[in-house]
Amino acid sequence: MSLLKEPDLGTPARPGPATVSIEVDGLPVTVPEGTSVMRAAALCGIDVPKLCATDSLEAFGSCRLCLVEIDGRRGTPASCTTPVTDGMRVRTQTPKLEKLRQGVMELYISDHPLDCLTCSANGDCELQDMSGAVGLRQVRYGYDGANHRDEKTDTSNPYFDFEASKCISCSRCVRACGEVQGTFALTIEGRGFESKVSAGGTDFMSSECVSCGACVQACPTATLQEKSVIQLGMPSRSVITTCAYCGVGCSFKAELRGAELVRMVPYKDGGANEGHSCVKGRFAFGYATHPDRVLTPMVRARITDEWQPVDWDTAIAFTAAKLRDIQTRHGVAAIGGITSSRTTNEEVYVVQKMIRAAFGNNNVDTCARVCHSPTGYGLKQTFGTSAGTQDFRSVAESDVIMVIGANPTDGHPVFASRMKRRLREGAQLIVIDPRRIDLVRSPHIEARHHLQLAPGTNVAIVNALAHVVLTEGLVDRTFVDERCEDFDDWAEFIACAENSPEAVEELTGVPAEEVRAAARLFATGGNGAIYYGLGVTEHSQGSTMVMGMANLAMATGNIGREGVGVNPLRGQNNVQGSCDMGSFPHELPGYRHVSDDVVRGVFENMWGSTLQAEPGLRIPNMFDAAIDGSFRALYVQGEDIAQSDPNIKHVHAALAALELVVVQDLFLNETAKFAHVFLPGTSFLEKDGTFTNAERRINRVRPVMAPKTGKHEWQIVAEIAQAMGYPMHYDSSSQIMDEIAALTPTFAGVSFEKLDKLGSVQWPCNDNAPEGTPIMHRDGFVRGRGRFVQTPFVPTRERSTRKYPLILTTGRILSQYNVGAQTRRTANVAWHPEDVLEIHPHDAEVRGIRDGDEVMLTSRVGATSLRAVLADRMPVGVVYTTFHHPVTGANVVTTENSDWATNCPEYKVTAVQVGLTSPAMAG
Amino acid sequence: MSPQVRMINDIAVQFRHQGLDTAAAAIAEHVRAFWDPRMRAELLRRVDAEPESLDPLALAAALLLTSP
């Protein structure tokens, strides 16, 4: 489509049932109470001139351009700050208004560089547009007086420039930074003529700016402009698609000039992000065209050989023949594959179908194994569905927000902005995390309670919270009696003294009174919502903790309406989708067990293949089976298991033991070092399909450009299946979704046509909910009654000792993503060029470590070296690092311990020792 | 310790509060639902070869796997 310029109604919508009718320039319009005159005018097709107003921000009333006349009122009020009243009659164009606006514009233009023809915003400049709109023909004040035209340009940010000479001090950028992003990095410095936008008195790169791009988007001139636009020129067409980074699933307009992607602009109608973005989605898309990308298939007989580029037919025939040969020699179950949460639902679906129908076994797993598999298990046991309960928008109705084991400002920044907005409005915050994450205290945000627990003690804390709720009579008995089961057994268990805050205080390190206060607040503070991340799941009791949180939500009646719920924040873009599509070895698409004869029969009929009724191998089981010799070939799509999975030495040994490793990816990653076949994949800009985000929202991923490899990934998979003798053909990705919809009850109503019409839908989407289901379990749980499950605390076997006295916990940072394969190939490295070890100053001091020293991190299974950063946000005894850089290979130290129910690795608890790499370096 | 023994021992501790019979049945059900047949077979080999390596509850559950 041509460049999509979204309408700007000037001020935000004011939802509400009450309406007000007014007349604008003789046209009648009825709008919700509280709507501004400017927005009412826009809704009846009349654009009032404006500069400081935009509908993503509250009205500010500073530019004096949107003046109107209102019958019965004196003066010329600003239409952006004037709410409608019933019967109001407004005039937006009169000779008086025209004269006033021209006078205002004259003042603006007299202090603006008139380089429109060479300006990077030419054609996309609101100052330019407004000059035309108000009919400006002359500037009486001349251009020689005091002005700002010599102000310096700040080019420090890798993605955008701040050209101060073009700033009109409208404050849109400052307000966007505060209201939308919630960072408050920008301010107006000085007063009167001296007032200017400032990044805290420093340049943008050195400031608190998180490069979300909200300021750039809000800027009406070329003051804040993407470097890509400055370099390439204005884009001329847009494609609406979905970000391929985290599980928030932001919608973007990919704006192109010819075939070249110029910029990604967050889409206001995007259900998940509503016009907001973060540094990754907004700017870090350069990896898609990075020269490191491999675009030609390659094969080799041994991993010590050089790669041989081949054509697609050769690569597919080679792969299929090798897989069949291994099955002939070692049995049908000797091969398997891993689907990717970075690929589309359709791509995941065809891979698991290939494995089940063409390979003839259930040896399929997904990277969700190592992040959110406990979510699937725990929520299915308690609620009956393997997904979060709310949409993101719901947080606006929360009164008490509990964040457990998640760092949303780094991991899920666009959702974090929504959450912070609600917190600024007065919602209370409880943070449960060993680290003092940014949310604990940041501008205009302060957690009421930070339960700074020892790593590995989540279950003890959630049980203690529930103990207080139960023993202090705070249970919502009406909810429990009407909607839940097994409460009495659970109540007997949770009431035991061993679950009291006092009993677990020494173990968790959290003062009992603090736990009691947090529990009381959560139970009595209104709508209580739980948001959690991998700090919950990646433990040996991850599934227990998920069930513990579900128990707490049910006991307090916080399920089934806006503002409550149990909400997993998913790591990768399509974690939810990859699970929905049947990537687990025991479940067919739609979370139905492979042993269910009826369900299996439906798939067998549709697929024309006999399916196995027994579960297959999970990823860690595949590694073990590779080492014991019963598993010989692995197909890996879009995952770098050699870097991302725990105990790297073990993973490498398993990969090296395999006869055939097939890697389908964008880059020659760490896993590809063990591969015999490399099948180049497509970036999100080339994909045609859908992603499902953490709120079950199915979003369209539209091809911005043709696949650079010449084939869609689903085509490659289908061709391998066919070469193995299993007929599999699709004409389009849409056809694959139609098959998914035909086989998966929760997707029954989903089609590309519906998604194009509605923008997105949240599953279940079927006859009962034809436009999707934003909030789950409204009238009853998916499993009928919500089930209370007893969750005894079982400590991890990983313990700190004199030899390994510290506990390592791992996580992400805002600018990098997962194993860094994408973000390391962008300018985001400017913020995080290497993994570092955060250590409390006390722990550092006793080891003679100073900030910036190279240190050795050692666990029972391995060692690596990295730079130490002293950080008092760490508690004493706990160290932290990221796993974004293969040179560090943080997972060389993480253990094989895993969640008892799902084998999700215990990344968050590793006993380690830290010491200077070389004593000489201490000097 | 084999991965299968380690895993079933980990599962067993989580079900201990349920009492022997209930817990053993639940553990066996869990293993049937989530484990590949070769893992179950390997577990049973370990039961024969080194029963002492299994938690008593895990052993009780494993024995249930031998019956249909």
Determine the pLDDT at residue A87.
96
A594 has pLDDT over 60: yes
> Which of A119, A145, A177 represents a domain boundary (last residue)?
A119
B27 interaction partners in chain A (CB closer than 8 Å): none
For residues A329 and A427, state if they share a domain: no
Is the pLDDT at A920 greater than 60? The verdict is no
Q: Nearest Cα to B58, choosing from B34, B31, B33, B27?
A: B27
Kindly report the CATH number assigned to the domain that includes residue A391.
3.40.228.10
Place of tokens 């070869």: B49
Locate tokens 């010989």: which residue?
A632
Number of domains in chain B: 1
Report yes or no on A160 lying in a domain: no
The confidence band for A1, taking pLDDT boundaries of 50, 70 and 90, is confident
Inside any domain, residue A278: no
- Token duo for residue B24: 């053993």
pLDDT of residue B68 exceeding 70, the answer is no
Domain of A25: which CATH number? 3.10.20.740
Query: Is residue A677 within 8 Å of A317, Cβ to Cβ?
Result: no
Q: Is residue A168 part of a domain?
A: no
Tokens of A398: 């929360």
Tokens of A724: 């193995």
Q: Give the residue from chain B lying closest to A899, CA to CA.
A: B10
Q: What is the CA radius of gyration of chain B?
A: 10
For residue A364, what is the nearest residue in chain B, using CA coordinates? B36
Per-chain mean pLDDT for chain A: 96
Of A568, A587, A611, which closes a domain?
Answer: A568
Cβ contact B12:B57 at 8 Å: yes
For residues A376 and A386, the answer to whether their CB atoms sit within 8 Å is: yes
Asked if residue A470 has pLDDT above 50, the reply is yes
The mean pLDDT value for A283-294 works out to 96
C-alpha A246/C-alpha A248 separation (Å) is 6
CB atoms < 10 A from the CB of A916, how many? 18
A324 and A403: one domain?
no
Do A398 and A463 lie in one domain? The reply is yes
Give the closest of B13, B34, B35 to A794, CB-based.
B13
CATH of the domain at A902: 2.40.40.20
In this prediction, residue A703 carries a pLDDT of: 97
pLDDT in tens, A521-560: 999 999 999 999 999 999 999 999 999 999 999 999 999 9
B38 to chain A, closest Cα gap in Å = 9
Has residue A280 been placed in a domain?
no
Sign of CA dihedral A73, A76, A81, A83: positive
CB–CB contact B17 A595 (8 Å): no
**Tell me, what's the ipTM?**
0.97
Burial of A5 (0-12, 13-18, 19+ CB in 10 A): exposed
Binning pLDDT at 50, 70 and 90, where does residue A173 land? very high
The two three-digit tokens of residue A803, written as one number: 């030899």
* Res A919: pLDDT: 57
> Residue A744 to residues A427, A732, A827, B57: CA-CA distances in angstroms?
38, 19, 41, 38
In DSSP terms, A689 is beta-bridged to A701
A529 with A663, same domain?
no
Are A620 and A538 in the same domain?
A: no
> What CATH code is carried by the domain that includes residue A670?
3.40.50.740
Q: Are A895 and A361 in contact (CB under 8 A)?
A: no
pLDDT digits (tens, 9 = 90+) for A23-42: 999 999 999 999 999 999 99
Q: For residue B68, which residues of chain A lie inside 8 Å, CB to CB?
A: none
Clarify whether residues A613 and A551 are in a common domain.
no
Q: Is A545 helix (H, G, I), strand (E, B) or coil?
A: helix
Render pLDDT for A99-141 as a digit per residue (tens, 0 to 9): 999 999 999 999 999 999 999 999 999 999 999 999 999 999 8
CB of B13 within 8 Å of a chain A CB? The answer is yes
Is residue A608 located within the same domain as residue A730?
A: yes
pLDDT at residue A401, rounded to an integer: 98
Q: Count of domains in chain A?
A: 4
pLDDT at B67: 63
Q: A91-107 as b/e, with b when 16 or more CB fall inside 10 Å?
A: bbeeeebeebbbebbbe
> Are residue A525 and residue A660 in the same domain, yes or no?
no
pLDDT at A886: 87
Residue of A nearest to B27 (CA): A901
Contact A595 B33 (CB under 8 A): yes
Predicted pLDDT at A142: 81
User: Same domain, yes or no, for A367 and A381?
Assistant: no
- Minimum distance, in Å, between the CA of residue A595 and any CA atom of chain B: 8
Q: Based on the domain organization, do A563 and A636 belong to the same domain?
A: no
Cα nearest neighbour of A361 on chain B: B36
Radius of gyration of chain A (CA): 29
**Is A922 a residue whose pLDDT tops 70?**
no
Q: How confident is the model at residue A923 (pLDDT cuts 50, 70, 90)?
A: very low
Q: Are residues A605 and A687 in the same domain?
A: yes
* Cα distance between residue A658 and residue A655, in whole Å: 5
Distance from the Cα of A472 to chain B's closest Cα (Å) equals 24
Say if CB A449 and CB A514 are below 8 A apart.
yes
CB A467 within 8 A of CB A521: no
In this complex, which of B10, B18, B39 lies closest to A621 when CB atoms are compared? B39
Nearest to A900 among B14, B33, B38 (CB): B14
* Residue to test with chain A: of B14, B43, B57, most A Cβ within 10 A: B14
Instruction: Please indicate whether, in this complex, the C-beta atoms of B14 and A901 are within 8 angstroms of each other.
Output: yes
Contacts B11 to A, Cβ<8 Å = 900-901
Q: Which residues contact A79 (CB under 8 A, 6 or more apart)?
A: A10, A36, A37, A38, A41, A48, A66, A67, A68, A90, A92
Closest Cβ–Cβ partner in B14, B16, B38 for A625: B38
Per the CB < 8 A criterion, the answer to whether A626 and A376 are in contact is: no
Within-domain flag for A153: no
CB pair distance less than 8 Å for A615 and B35: yes
Q: Same domain for A530 and A584?
A: no
Give me the residues paired with residue A592 across strands.
Answer: A588
For the residues A853-882, what does the mean pLDDT come to?
A: 96
Consecutive H or E run containing A621: helix A619-628
Do A900 and B36 count as a contact with CB atoms less than 8 A apart? no
Domain that holds residue B58: 3-64
- Contact by Cβ (8 Å): A375, A386: yes
Range of the domain at A492: 373-568
**What is the pTM for the complete model shown?**
0.96
C-alpha span between A597 and A613 (Å, rounded): 8
Q: From A548, A568, A588, give the residue that closes a domain.
A: A568
- Does any domain span residue A380? yes
pLDDT at A888: 85
- Asked if residues A198 and A177 have their Cβ atoms less than 8 Å apart, the reply is no
